[in-house]
Structure formats: structure tokens, C-alpha cells
Structure 1
Amino acid sequence: MWNKPKPSLLLFTMLFSLSLSLSAQVLTLNEAVETALVNYGTIKAKNNYLSASKATLQQSKKEYLPNLNLSAQQDYGTVNGQNGPLYGMGLSVASSGLPLPQQNWNAAFGALYLTNVNWDFFAFGRARERIHVSASIVERDLSDLEQEKFQHSIRVAGAYLNLLVAQRLTQSWENNFERAAALKNVVATRAKNGLIPGVDSSLANAEVSNAKISITQARDFEQEQASVLARLMGITNQQFTLDTLFITKMPQSIDDSATVSKNHPLLKYYSNRVAVSNQQARYFQTLGLPVFSLFGVFQGRGAGFSSTYATDQHAYTQNYFEGIKPVRANYLLGIGATWNMTNLLRTRQQVLSQEFISSALKEEYQVIDQQIQNQLILSGNKIRNAVANFREAPIQVQSASDAYLQKSVLYKNGLSNIVDLTQALYILNRAETNRDIALSNLWQALLLKAAAAGDFGLFLNQ
């Protein structure tokens, strides 16, 4: 016979399971960033661009291979003044043979089999430079993908912080509503008993309505921030339970100095843009130089007409297999060089144009570098200001809370008026919202520092 479990054990099991379920639904910052990097469309697109560049690189490497053309054709026709029919691939009949005294319509089968090899074996590094261009484009697209991931991680973290502070502000306004509702009940009771004038009740009702409107506005702002985070994560669900533990404390290494990393993803991308342009200029220089080629041809030919057909017009066969059987063959091997000397004039301007593009890209690199340096300085200033506000916020909240409590006690004992009490209520609510904003600004400043330094780990590892 089984033992009936104790109610306390069942209750503990249910509560434990519920806590596990709720904790599993909490969206951490790491999870938000990882989800965004997997789902976001721009990152997927740049992944495809990178794959395309890699495929182009492989194609460039195969460009150096020789051209190998195989051709075969089988024909049927007459040979007036010709030996062996040959169709000109959409142009004209290309038969060959001696002229005959008169026209006839004798016809037979013929065939041509051809193998052609052509290899530009030396072009002063043209193939090599083309491969280098493709390789530099792969590096550029890879760095473009990495900088997009880095910047998107910063955007997601910023949206996560904005939603966190929006949720905390909503909670602060809900706390304010609870205080206003409690005040309304006290005022209504005292006004009903004739202890205070009725206007106090009207003021209390107005304060409650104002608190409700503020909650609605706070929720509207929270919903906007949830929509932004969902969009950046590439999902449609906008109901988030966020991790609120880390934002309530000061980051451990917030005062540590940081410098712009040489491997800053954004700077690396702009540097690779310059590298691609420089490599293209080197490739263009090879376009005006000669090309040395090896070539070879092997040809087999068959015909249903005999070699004596010129003297004996009956010396032919209409047998298909006899006509397509190769009876003559030729081969040719050679080496050659081609040089369009006017290409020197064209490529000179092409190289000059590309060098100007490289100079423009270098200037853009300098602009981004200056922006990042200024952003790093700004982040240091913002961190100092945010730390000062973070340390001052608890003092403001405690003082405002004490003042509200004192005014509430005085009002209940008839020693203060409703105006002083609502003013104290307003000051307390302002102190709580300032505290929430100070917490967010502290982490936002650290995020700005991580973005400027090019190291997202400065923020993520706190």
C-alpha cells in the first residue's frame, strides 16, 4: 500500500517547479545578443555576401587553368566543289573539294572532331593579382560581417538596457499610484468625517488620475522599447522578462582605463576597404602588359566521299558509319604573345583613378578613427557623471522617502495640508525615477566605452 504524500511536500514541489519554469523564461543579456546574431536579417545577408566572395576567390584561382575546348559535329550534304561537308555553326556551309564540271546532288555523311587547348601561361602576374584581389575582398567582407555583429551586439545591449529602465520606471509609477490611492483613501475618510475640507478629496482624486495617466505613459514607453528589442532580435514576441540583477549594482571595472583596440571591428573593416582598393590598383597595372600563350590543336575529320571523287563522281558512300569515321587528322602546337600597346594608356588612367579611390577610403578611415577616439573620451566623461549620480541617487530616495513619511504623519494628525503632502509625494516619485535613470545611465556609459574600445567583453563580462 502506497503512502500518501504530505501536503507540505507537494506544495514545496509545486513551488520549486514553478520557480524553475519562471527562471527559464528570463531573457538574459547574453541570450538576447546570441538570438539577435542568429536571427537578424542584415547579418544573414552579410553572411551570404561573404560566401559569395569565397566562391569568387575559388573561381579566380581556377582562372589560371588552360582553356580546353572539345568540338564534334556530324553532317550530311553535297560536295559540289568541296570534299567533306561541314556546317558553319549557324553561318554558311563550309565544305571543301575540287570544282566539278557541273552541278550534282550526290550527298554523303561527314564529321569533324576537334580538341583545342589554349593557356595564357605568363601575363606578368595578372592571374596572381586577380587572386589577391578576390582574397582581399573575402577579408573585407569577413571584417564587414564581424563589425556588423559587433555593432548589432551594442545595439541589442542598448535596447536591453532601455527596456530594463522602462520596466523599472513603470514599477516606480505603479508604486506612486499605490501611494496616491492610499492617500486618497485617507483623505476621503477624513473629509467624510468633516475633519478636512472637501477640496482635499478633489486634489487627492486628481493625484490618483495623474498617477494612472503616468502609468499608461510609462507602459507605452516600455512597449516601444520592447518592440525595438524584438526587432533587433529578429523575433515577433514582445513580452520579455529581463534579468534585473546586474543593473542594480555598479560594474566592477567601470573605472579601468581603456584604449581603442588595433583590432577594433569597425576600423578593421575600413582598413580592409583600403586594402581591396590598393590591390585592385596593382591588378589594373598588369592589364597593359603582354600575354604569353601556349596553344595546341588536334583535329580529326571523316567524309563519305573518296579521295578520287574529283575524277569519279560515283566514288562516295551514303553509309552513315563510313562517313563519320575519321580518316584524316592534323595537329598543331605553338607559342604566341599578344600585346595591345594602347592598353598602356588606358590602364594608366584606370590605375590613377583607383589610387584616388584609395585616398578617399583612407580619409574615411581617418574620420571613423577620430569619431571613435572622441567617443572613448566622451564615454569616460559619461562614466564619471553616471557614477556621481549613481552614488547620489540613494541619498535622494532616502531623503524623499523620509520627507514623505513625515508629511504623511503630519497630515494625518492635522498638522500639514494636502499641498505639502502631494509635493512630498511628487518629490519621492521623482527621486525614484532619477534612481532608475541613474542605474541605466551607468551601464549605458559602460556600453559606450566598450563600443569605443572595440571590446564588447568590457560590458558583457561585468
Structure 2
Amino acid sequence: MNKYMNRCLFLILFCFQAQLFPAAAQVLSMESAVEATINHYPTLAAQRSALEAFRANVQVLRDNRLPNVRLHDQINLGTANGLSGSYFSMGLIVPTSGGRRPDNSMSLASGNIALATTDWEVYNFGRFHAENKLAEADIAVGESGLEREQFALRQVVINTYLDLVWLRQNLKIEQQNLARVDTVRRIINNLVQNGIRPGLDSSLASVELSRAKLSYYQMQEEYRRASVQLATLTGREIDDVQIDTTFNAALLMGEPAPSNVLASHPLLNYRNRLLTRQNAEIDMIRKSALPRISVLASVWGRGTSLDIDNNFGPIGQGFGYSRTNFLLGVAATVNLTDFKRVKTRAVQQQWRVREAGSLLTVEQVQLQNTLTMADSVMATIRLALDELPVTLRSATLAYQQRMSLYNNGIENILGITESLQLLTRVEKQVIDVQRRAVAVRLQKAYATSDFGPFFDLFRRQ
């Protein structure tokens, strides 16, 4: 019966392991996971679209500076009663060109007019240049924003991947603990059946086995959740996600090379370019109120059925062109009130520049603090790593000795249970210390944007 239960237990464990780590799945390294996420994730696609919109805006500005060329032709039929006086048409009153008469006449007159005009803003004291600089600054912000999004997404992928690494190791510990507990339970059951040990020991061993199974199932659930998250990030099916188990723990004992926070860091680069963009907008605002020099040209032809004495003639006579004119000119336009508006807008923009500068300083301080913190705790972490083999060896010996004493009738079931739990805690503590050491290395990589030494921890040598 015991042999049958033992086979069932390991069959269940084998099935769970096969479900978690499918043999057909392609092994996914940490760097491959990062690359796969960056290549497909929707937020990056949105950032790339926004960047292309900024780039397209450069051509929009160029098209807006082309001369306006308008063609117009109309044939009209209506009355022609003129009256002296001035008024604002407000776009509602249709102008009438005709002679003044003592009485209102309802006779019809025809007319024809064709018009071609052009106006071209050729100079505006640097506003075009300021607009170009602002458009270039927007592109730079878009590019650095894409880099920042990629940097942030890299952190998410790495943290998710690390969760799987540590969960897998903890899952292995739970599996080993389950096997040890089951071995102890079978030994105890044999002793109980032979009347060497009391029946209470068998019940306590069964309880400990159930606790070990529950811990294993819980760890399995957490591993599955992390696998789903990594599959979502990388765009893969959940059954295709199998992480690379390579972990060069010995590299954690080495002293990392000194490093500094560089201005080229994606987070700082974004803040720097945003500050440059805000300054560029101030220049554009100030130059938007300066005069605008335009070249104007127009030519038109006119026909009418009224003769030179303002008499009504045949309707068809007005459909041709009897007079032509042209006009050339240079115009300077300035709105004096704009200077007041520009001053107010410039003050408003100055506050945005200060905000951007303050956010840049905050980002610099945070990155420097992260780097300083990582460097300061690394030595202590290495001491803990150095102590781990001693702790693990001692816990293993304690378990073996307790088991030997129990077999000789000297130790009780509580002592074995305590030694089992102690060994499992120490094994998990080993993983926890390694996790904290890796987290410190990741903090350093985050602060310096140099991930090469960090990825070495998980690369095949």
C-alpha cells in the first residue's frame, strides 16, 4: 500500500512538472524575452506612431509656408442699383456695383469676373526658424520618449523573468521537501506498523505531508501566474514559455566595476530633451508677434452688360471680359496687441521650463541615490552569500542527525519535523539572499543603464 501511494505521489509531481516545463517549449533567455517584448508590445507601437507624427509635422510646416494661389471665376445675373454710403459688410451684405439712379430699377444686368491671386509670407524675422527648431525638439522628445518606454518595459520584463527564476527554484525546494517528508512518512509508517512507534507519529507525519503538498501547490500557482505575465509581455503562448535556468551565482561574489550615472541615460535623456523643447517653444512664442513680410500679386478680368453711361444692354454682353487689371505689392503685417499676448505666454512657458528643469534634477538625484544604495549594500550582501554554504550544510547535517536519532529511538517526531522545516527555511533563505543580491545588481544596471554585467549572471558561459 505504501509503495502504491509513493508511486502515485511521484507520478503527480511528474505530471505537474511536465505541465509547468513542457519539453517541446523553446528555452527563452532573459535577453530574448526583452527583445521579443520590445519588438511587439502595443505601448511601444503607440510610441512609434507618435514619433512618426512628430516627423510628419516637419513636412506639414513646409507645406504651410508655400504661397497661397487662388483662382476664382463667377458669372452673375441680378439688379444693379448703387447708393452712396459706407458700411461694414460683416460678410452678410452682398456688394453691388452699379450707377446711382433716381429710382430703384428691377431690370437685370449680367456680369462676369475672373480672379487669380497669390500671397506669400517670405520673411518673418526668424519665426520659421523657431518653428523648425520646435519641430526638431518635438522629434527629439519623441525619440527619447520611445527609449524611455523601452527602458521601463525592459525593467518589467526582467523583473517578471526574475520572478520565474526564483519561483522555479522555490518550486524545486518545495518538491524536494515534499519528497523528504514523504520518505520520513513511509519510514514512520513502517515503524508504527511494527509497533516500534506510537500511532500518533503516523498522524503527525501525514499532517506534515499535507502541509508540504499545499506549499507546493501554492508555489505552483504563483509560478503559473508569473508565466502568464511573461507570455503576455513577450507575445507568446503560455505553453511556449520556458525560461533558461542558467544562473552564474559565483559572479555575485565579484566586485562590480565602478560606474556613474551618465547624461545619456534614457530617463535623463528624455528629461533633457523635454527641457530643450520647452526652451525652443519660448523662442517660437517670442517671434510669433514680429512683423510678417508678404509678397502679393493679383490679376483679374471683368465683363458687364452695363455700358459706359450705365445703361442696361443685352444680357449676353456681360458674359465676356472687357477689362483686365493686375496688381503687385509687398505687405508688412503686425498686430501690436500680440506683443502683450506674447509676453504673457512667455512667462507661462518660463514656468514650464522651470518645471522641466526641476524634474530633470529629481531624476538625476533618484538615479544617483539608487546607484549609491546599490554600491553601499553590495559588500554586506557578499558577506551573506559567503555564509550561505555553511548555513545550508549545517541544516542538512542537523536533519540527517535527527533522522538517525529517530531511527535509533532517541529522537521523537517533533524533532524530525522541526529539522525538516529548518532545512526548508534555510534552502529558501539561500534563494532569498541570492534574489536580494541580484536585485542590487539590477538596481546598479538601472541607475547606469549598463545591463551587460547584469545579463552575464544569466548567460551561458
Q: Which amino acid aligns with 2:120?
A: W
Q: Distance in 2 between matches of 1:219 and 1:22?
A: 17
Q: TM-score, structure 1 length as denominator?
A: 0.85
1:399-442 per-residue CA deviation (whole Å, 9 max, x = no partner) reads: 22222222222322323222221121112111211222233323
1:231 Cα deviation after fit: 4.1
Report the Cα distance in structure 2 between the residues aligned to 1:245 and 1:198, rounded to whole angstroms.
Answer: 45
Which SS does the other structure have where 1:250 is aligned? Answer: helix
Aligned length: 429
Are residue 245 (structure 1) and residue 240 (structure 2) matched?
A: no
Tell me the CA shift for residue 310 of structure 1: 3.4
Compute the RMSD of aligned alpha carbons. Answer: 2.7
Q: Report what 1:80 is aligned to.
A: 80
Q: Which moved more, 1:219-228 or 1:194-203?
A: 219-228
Moved more, 383-392 or 26-35: 383-392
Per-residue deviation, 1:388: 2.8
Letter in 1 for 2:274: R
Residue 170 (str. 1) matches residue 165 (str. 2)? no
**1:370 Cα deviation after fit:** 0.5
CA distance in 2, matches of 1:121, 1:66: 9
Judge conservation of contact 2:306–2:313 (CA < 8 Å) in 1: no
Aligned-residue offset at 1:221 = 2.3
Q: Which residue of 1 is the match for residue 56 of structure 2?
A: 55
Q: Which runs of 5+ in 1 are unaligned?
A: 1-20, 83-87
What is aligned with 1:228?
229
The 1:383–1:159 alpha-carbon spacing in structure 2 relative to 1, beyond 3 Å, is farther
The letter of the residue matching 2:392 is: V
Distance 1:395 1:70, change over 3 A: farther
1:256-271 → structure 2 map (5 Å cutoff): 256-271=257-272
Return closer, same or farther for 1:343/1:23 CA change in 2, 3 Å cut-off: same
Deviates more, 1:241-250 or 1:373-382: 241-250
1:46 corresponds in structure 2 to: 47
Residues 292-331 of structure 1: pairs in structure 2 closer than 5 A:
292-303=293-304, 305=305, 307=307, 310-311=310-311, 313-317=312-316, 323=319, 325-331=320-326
Distance 1:248 1:454 in 2: 22
Q: 1:232 to 1:384 in 2, by over 3 A?
A: farther
Q: What TM-score, normalized to structure 2?
A: 0.85
Counterpart of 1:403 (choices 382, 385, 398) is 398
Query: Which residue type is aligned with residue 115 of structure 2?
Result: L
Q: Report the equivalent of 2:279.
A: 278
> Is 1:434 aligned to 2:436, yes or no?
no
Aligned to 2:374: 379
Note the C-alpha offset of 1:243: 0.4
Q: SS of the counterpart of 1:310? A: coil
The aligned residue for residue 348 of structure 1 is 343
1:227/1:238 contact within 8 Å kept = no
- In structure 1, the residue corresponding to 2:125 is in which secondary structure? coil
Give the letter aligned to residue 452 of structure 1. Answer: A
Q: Measured at CA, do residues 316 and 111 of structure 1 come closer, stay the same or move farther in structure 2, by a change above 3 Å? A: closer
Structure 1 residues 252 and 385, CA gap change in structure 2 (3 angstroms): closer
Question: Which residue of 2 is the match for residue 18 of structure 1?
Answer: none
Q: 1:260 is paired with a residue of what secondary structure?
A: coil
- 8 A Cα contact 1:119 1:295, kept in partner: yes
SS in 2 for 1:103: coil
Aligned amino acid, residue 315 of structure 1? P
Matched letter for residue 191 of structure 1: V
The 8 Å contact of residues 307 and 313 in structure 2, kept in 1 or not, is answered as: no
* Residue number in structure 1 paired with 2:15: none
In structure 2, do the counterparts of structure 1 residues 399 and 23 end up closer, same or farther at CA, with 3 Å as the change threshold? farther
Shift in alpha-carbon separation, 1:347–1:106, aligned structure 2, 3 A: closer
Distance 2:44 2:254 in 1: 30
Which of residues 357, 366, 374 is equivalent to 2:361? 366
In 1: Cα distance, 2:106 partner to 2:334 partner? 48
Give the 3 Å change call, closer, same or farther, for CA 395–454 of structure 1 in structure 2.
Answer: same
Q: Which amino acid aligns with 1:57?
A: V
Aligned match of 1:334:
329
Q: CA deviation at 1:272?
A: 1.1
Identical columns (%): 28
Instruction: Give the partner amino acid of 2:397.
Output: D
Q: What do residues 135-183 of structure 1 show as CA deviations (whole Å, max 9, x unaligned)? A: 1011011101101101211221111011110111111111101110111
Q: How does 1:105-120 map to 2 (within 5 A)?
A: 105-106=107-108, 108=110, 110-120=111-121
After superposition, the C-alpha distances for 1:353-412 in whole angstroms (9 at most, x for unaligned) are: 211221121111111110100000112234333333333223322222222222222322
| SS of alignment partner, residue 195 of structure 2 | coil
Question: Residue 105 of structure 2 aligns with which residue?
Answer: 103
Query: CA offsets per residue over residues 211-261 of structure 1, 9 Å max, x none?
Result: 011112212322332343334435563763110113554259652221112
Residues 334 and 308 of structure 1, relative CA distance in 2, 3 Å threshold: closer
Secondary structure, in 3 states, of the residue corresponding to 2:159?
helix
AA at the equivalent of 2:213: K
Instruction: Please say if 1:459 is aligned against 2:454.
Output: yes
Q: Which residue of 1 aligns with 2:149?
A: 148
Q: Verify the 8 A CA contact 1:71 1:114 in the aligned structure 2.
A: yes
Give distance in 2, aligned partners of 1:149 and 1:252: 30
Separation in structure 2 between the aligned mates of residue 67 and residue 253 of structure 1, nearest angstrom:
69
CA distance in 2, matches of 1:457, 1:368: 22
Asked if 2 retains the 8 angstrom alpha-carbon contact of 1:254 and 1:446, the reply is no
Contact 2:80 2:109 in 1 (8 A): no
Per the alignment, residue 17 of structure 1 pairs with: none
Unmatched runs of 5 consecutive residues or more in structure 2: 1-21, 83-88
For the 8 Å contact 1:66–1:120, the answer to whether it is kept is yes
1:398 to 1:70, Cα distance in 2 relative to 1, 3 A: farther
Query: Please, which moves more after superposition, 338-347 or 47-56?
Result: 338-347
Q: In the superposition, relative to structure 1, how do residues 450 and 192 fare at CA in structure 2: closer, same or farther (>3 Å)?
A: same
- Name the amino acid aligned to 2:380: N
Distance 1:197 1:222 in 2: 39
Number of the residue aligned with 2:204: 203
**Distance change (3 Å), C-alpha of 1:90 and 1:280:** closer
- Between the aligned partners of 1:442 and 1:243, the Cα distance in structure 2 is 19
Which residue identity does 1:342 align to in structure 2?
Answer: T
Q: Counterpart amino acid of 2:374?
A: S
